[in-house]
A = this chain, B = another copy of it.
Amino acid sequence: MKISKDLQKLNSHGYEVLLSSYLQELGKVGIGEFGLWRSPYTQEYEEAANLVAGWMKEHGFEVKKDGIGNIIGRIEGTDNQARAVTMGSHLDTVRGGGIYDGMLGVAGGIIAAGYLLKTYGRPQNPIEVIAFIGEEGSRFSGLMGSKWMAGDLEEKELVKVDENGISLKAAAQAFGYSLSPSGSTPRSDVEAFLELHIEQGPVLEAKGCPIGIVSGITGMRQAELTIRGRSDHAGTTPMGMRHDALLAAAKMIGAMDLCVRQSGGDTVFTVGRISANPGAVNVVAAETVFTIDMRDPDPKKLKGLYSQLEEETLKVAAQTGVLVEWKNILAVEPVPCSPILRDILAEAARKAGLDYHEMVSGAGHDAIMAARFAPIGMLFVPSTGGRSHCGEEYTSPSQCMAGVTVLAEAIRQLAYKNKY
């Protein structure tokens, strides 16, 4: 396959260096005791936002911030009636995060759109790069910026407080964000939303594949299970007379894991947290608490399997004489990507001479909320060692640039209507 000359130009050393410099510069803002940490409505977040707004202006974007603090860089189109072709990701980080998560989609979007404007002039459709605020939920609830844009951030979420007792509303207003119109309204002027993101997992690296095209964002169920047995002396209570909450929990975890594996497909199941009471080496546990996290892109399978897991725990509970209590923490339905945008991304990868792998996104992204107001497409680039949400998070400059190249070509298809 012949690589287009224009794409080669974008993929040239100059743009790769510029992209790296953006990521490195953003990665310095908010470095402190906990590694990189930039939560919404802080001095460091504003500093990062101003950097991004400045770069947007340098590339010829008009820049505005909306009522919650999302930054929107826009290139007007030649067609006044046309809907905007948008892309972006988020600028906030987890506590101790890396410099690629979110930022690649913002910085890469600026490079891609800036390149298109410079190379092809004004597009037919408006192009926007959006830097969402508060995707990670490291201060308030997650996906808050994109939820605002979807018109779905409810009044009650605005009064929820952070760990210091400051409400989202108070924090936003302290930085001059009005949060009006109250309740926000969904955008109806968007043709498409594309999000370029690091994979945050090991699949692309393992496959030696530079591009992941996301078929859909996985659905999720999280729950906390409390197993209630009886505390007994570890020496004096015969095995047959126990109601051991920790042993029951271990058996439940094993049974649920087996159930998920036997179901086949892409489902992932994780027990990440566990504790036992009273928690002494010589005392049979009276209570054990653990969490489960299950994800699958098929809503029907997710629902069915969740019920099966509950049955598995009840079976073990009956065998071991314990009680089990399920507390649902989170239920997120799967979000499919637009088949048309998947095709456009695949075609763009082919044009760039890059192999791609169709895959599910196991993590949540702003695209989930964007799907409420526009068709969405997502693009992954490899994460070294599958690492993310940590200082070791790394995607090489050329790997990042491969993603930006595919993104730019897809945006060109959408906004220039195959004019070039």
Interface of A toward B, CB cutoff 8 Å: 199-203, 206, 218, 220, 222, 224, 232-239, 241, 244, 246-247, 249-251, 253-254, 257, 260-261, 266-276, 278-285, 288, 291, 293, 295, 329, 361-364, 386, 388-389
Point out the residues of chain B lying under 8 angstroms from A388, CB to CB. Answer: 233, 236
Q: How many copies of this chain does one complex carry?
A: 2
> In the complex the two chains form, is B260's CB within 8 Å of A239's CB?
yes
Complex-state Cα separation, A282 to B235, whole angstroms = 36
> In the complex the two chains form, is B268's CB within 8 Å of A235's CB?
yes
Point out the residues of chain B lying under 8 angstroms from A266, CB to CB. Answer: 238
> In the complex the two chains form, is A233's CB within 8 Å of B272's CB?
no
> In the complex the two chains form, is B220's CB within 8 Å of A235's CB?
yes
> In the complex the two chains form, is B251's CB within 8 Å of A254's CB?
yes
> In the complex the two chains form, is A261's CB within 8 Å of B276's CB?
no
Which of A234, A261, A329, A363 is most buried by chain B, counting CB atoms within 10 A of its CB? A234
Complex-state Cα separation, A6 to B244, whole angstroms = 45
Given contacts A261-B239, A282-B222, contact A234 B295 (CB under 8 A): yes
Point out the residues of chain B lying under 8 angstroms from A237, CB to CB. Answer: 201-202, 268, 362, 386
Which of B238, B280, B389 contacts A273, CB < 8 Å? Answer: B280
- In the complex, residue of chain B having the shortest beta-carbon distance to the beta carbon of A258: B251
Which of A233, A244, A295, A389 is most buried by chain B, counting CB atoms within 10 A of its CB? A233
> In the complex the two chains form, is A238's CB within 8 Å of B274's CB?
no
Complex-state Cα separation, A288 to B279, whole angstroms = 14
> In the complex the two chains form, is A253's CB within 8 Å of B246's CB?
yes
> In the complex the two chains form, is B201's CB within 8 Å of A236's CB?
yes
Which of B235, B249, B280, B283 contacts A295, CB < 8 Å? Answer: B235
Question: Which 6 residue pairs spanning A and B have beta carbons closest together?
Answer: A201-B236, A235-B362, A234-B270, A250-B253, A236-B362, A281-B291
Question: What is the predominant secondary structure among interface residues of chain A facing chain B?
Answer: mixed
Given contacts A202-B237, A363-B235, A363-B236, contact A270 B295 (CB under 8 A): no
Which of B235, B250, B268 contacts A234, CB < 8 Å? Answer: B268
Which of B261, B282, B362, B386 contacts A293, CB < 8 Å? Answer: B282
- In the complex, residue of chain B having the shortest beta-carbon distance to the beta carbon of A273: B279
Point out the residues of chain B lying under 8 angstroms from A282, CB to CB. Answer: 222, 270, 272, 293
For residue A335, give the distance in angstroms from its CB to the closest CB of chain B.
Answer: 13
Complex-state Cα separation, A233 to B390, whole angstroms = 11
For residue A205, give the distance in angstroms from its CB to the closest CB of chain B.
Answer: 10
Complex-state Cα separation, A229 to B201, whole angstroms = 16
Complex-state Cα separation, A274 to B200, whole angstroms = 28
Which of B224, B232, B235, B246 contacts A271, CB < 8 Å? Answer: B246
Complex-state Cα separation, A155 to B281, whole angstroms = 27
Point out the residues of chain B lying under 8 angstroms from A271, CB to CB. Answer: 246-247, 250, 285
Complex-state Cα separation, A249 to B293, whole angstroms = 17
Complex-state Cα separation, A251 to B257, whole angstroms = 10
User: Apart from A247-B257, A281-B291, what are 12 other A-B pairs with CB-CB below 8 Å?
Assistant: A202-B241, A233-B388, A233-B389, A238-B266, A250-B254, A250-B257, A251-B254, A272-B278, A272-B284, A273-B276, A274-B276, A282-B293
Point out the residues of chain B lying under 8 angstroms from A247, CB to CB. Answer: 253-254, 257, 271
For residue A159, give the distance in angstroms from its CB to the closest CB of chain B.
Answer: 25
For residue A377, give the distance in angstroms from its CB to the closest CB of chain B.
Answer: 18
Point out the residues of chain B lying under 8 angstroms from A222, CB to CB. Answer: 281-282
Complex-state Cα separation, A269 to B274, whole angstroms = 20
> In the complex the two chains form, is A272's CB within 8 Å of B268's CB?
no
